[in-house]
Chains A and B, each alone.
Chain A
Amino acid sequence: MNAPKFKASTYKSDIEPVWCPGCGDFHVLLSITKALAELGRPPEDIAVVSGIGCSSRIPAYTNCYGFHGVHGRSLALSAGLKVARPDLTVMVMSGDGDGFSIGGNHFLHACRRNVDMTYVVMDNRVYGMTKGQPSPTTESDWDSALSPGGTGLRAFHPLVIALASGANFVAREFSGNIKATTRTLVEAVNHPGFSFVEILSPCVTFRPDEKEWKNTVHKAQVEETDDPARAARRIMTDDGMNTGILYRGRRPPYKAKVSDEIGDIAPLEAAFEV
Chain B
Amino acid sequence: MTVMKPLLENVSFAIVGSGGAGAITAGAILLEAAGKAGWYGVLVRSVGPQIRGGESASLVRLSTGPAENMTKDFDVLVAIDWKNSDRFIGDMPVTNSGLVVSDPKNGAVPAAITEAGTDVADCPLNAMAKDIPGGRENMIAAGIVAQLIGLPIDALMQVVETKLARKGEAAILSSRACIEAGMAQASTYSQSYPLKPVNPPTNKRWLATGNEMVGLGALRGGVRFAAAYPITPATEVLEYLAPSLASIGGALVQAEDELSSINMIIGASYGGRPSITATSGPGLALMMESLGLAAAAEVPIVVVDVMRCGPSTGIATKSEQSDLNIAIYGFHGDAPHVVVAPNSVGDCLFTTQWAVHMAETLQAPVIVLSDQSLGQALVLMNRPADVAFMAKRKVYEPVEGQDYQRYAMTADCISPMAIPGQTGGQYTADGLTHTVRGTPSSKRSDQKEQMDKRAAKIEQFDFGQHWGHVEGTGDTVILTWGSLTGPAREAIGELTAQGDDVRLISLRQISPFPVQALQQALTGAARILVLEQTHSGQFYRHIRSYIDLPGEVRQFNREGPYLIGPDEIATQIRDWKTA
Contacts and interface: CB of A to CB of B under 8 A. Distances in A.
Contact of A272 (B212, B247, B267, B431): B212
B272 A85 contact: yes
Nearest to B242: A256
A146 interface: no
Among A60, A87, A258, which residue has the most Cβ atoms of chain B within 10 A?
A258
Interface string B238-266: 00000010111111110111011111111
Interface in B421-439: 421-432, 438-439
Nearest to A74: B263
Given A15-B439, A44-B423, A256 B253 contact: yes
A67 B251 contact: no
Interface stretch (B72-80, B146-154, B216-224): B216-224
Contact of B224 (A43, A262, A267): A262
A77 B420 contact: no
A67 B429 contact: yes
B206 A88 contact: no
Nearest to B215: A268
A147 interface: no
A81 B270 contact: yes
Contacts of B275: 80, 84
B247 A64 contact: no
A211 B559 CA distance: 61
B227 interface: yes
Interface residues of B, number: 68
A109 interface: yes
Given A43-B426, A84-B225, A268-B247, A274 B36 contact: yes
A84 B431 contact: no
Chain B interface helix/strand/loop/mixed: mixed
Interface string A231-266: 000000000000000000000000011111111110
B267 A81 contact: yes
Given A68-B431, A83-B225, A273-B204, A265 B266 contact: no
A258 B260 contact: no
Contacts of A267: 247
Contacts of A63: 426
B259 A80 contact: no
A83 B206 contact: no
Given A258-B273, A272-B212, A274-B204, A83 B268 contact: yes
Interface in A67-100: 67-70, 72-73, 76-85, 87-88
B267 A67 contact: yes
A44 B425 contact: yes
B555 interface: no
26 contacts: A42-B423, A44-B421, A44-B426, A47-B420, A66-B426, A68-B430, A69-B290, A69-B293, A73-B290, A76-B255, A77-B264, A77-B270, A79-B253, A81-B270, A84-B269, A84-B272, A87-B421, A105-B260, A106-B259, A256-B252, A264-B248, A265-B220, A272-B206, A272-B208, A274-B204, A274-B380
Given A47-B271, A83-B268, 9 more contacts: A60-B440, A65-B427, A68-B428, A68-B430, A69-B297, A81-B271, A84-B269, A85-B271, A262-B222
Interface of B: 32, 35-36, 204-208, 212, 216, 219-220, 222, 224-225, 227, 244, 246-253, 255-257, 259-273, 275, 289-290, 292-293, 297, 380, 383, 418, 420-432, 438-440
Interface of A: 15, 42-45, 47-49, 57, 59-60, 63-70, 72-73, 76-85, 87-88, 105-106, 108-109, 256-265, 267-269, 272-274
Q: Nearest 6 CB-CB pairs, A to B?
A: A80-B264, A66-B428, A80-B267, A263-B248, A84-B268, A274-B35
